[in-house]
Structure 1
């Protein structure tokens, strides 16, 4: 009998924990993810209004100078990085509608570029000017992967919990 009472108490404890998750935790998580999705969608719109030319360079603003040549933009980006000595992000310009800031990551011993729209996107910078521009474009391409989360969220929110 005491074993059955213990099993019943354990079962009720699990049931209350699941009910708490259904009523509190999961709705909070869904709202948080909806905010992420809205931010990613806004950033996708920014990318759509500032498209990348097929055989060209979209242009970049670094320290007030508008640069339309990849080599010059990459070199200016590296020069801006050399001036940054601490781990606080410093705004250095903009690219395709996103504000750019850079900080030095002492742990990794590398510069990290932050692209700020509604959300913040990261790109690690190296020593190659053209390679850095490719890394930045790759970071912006990753925004499209947010569509995966949108579909996942709609599947989750469409499910109805069973009530015991």
Structure 2
């Protein structure tokens, strides 16, 4: 929703909008009520004031809904590669890939996270709720190391301890 990031308008949109005849197929514009500045005596020349530009407003604090966009990197399959993004780290050894492969790291919101199985607890540290890695399905030819951010409090509440 684009409007979520814009500051509130101080005047009606119709006072600044392009006329409907500029947009093919647009319905005719409804007349707008006169504003106090438009009720000036007709002997005055119209104002040539510049209209204020729209300024992005800060997004509301939505907790786990504000995540970074996806990130892509390519590993060539011949040399070791470390990919880091959004507190995730993938260490891919030289023999872990048989060919050049594009790896994508996608931070997920709570709504995008799949339902967890019985006995599973999500301990991912916010603002993201988890990650998706592509390509999927995919199997590395050798072990790799994936490091993820976790919330130590949630980890301990789930009866686990972090490994250093």
Give the TM-score band, short-chain normalised: under 0.3
Using the size of structure 2 for normalisation, the TM-score is: 0.22
Normalization by structure 1: what TM-score? 0.22
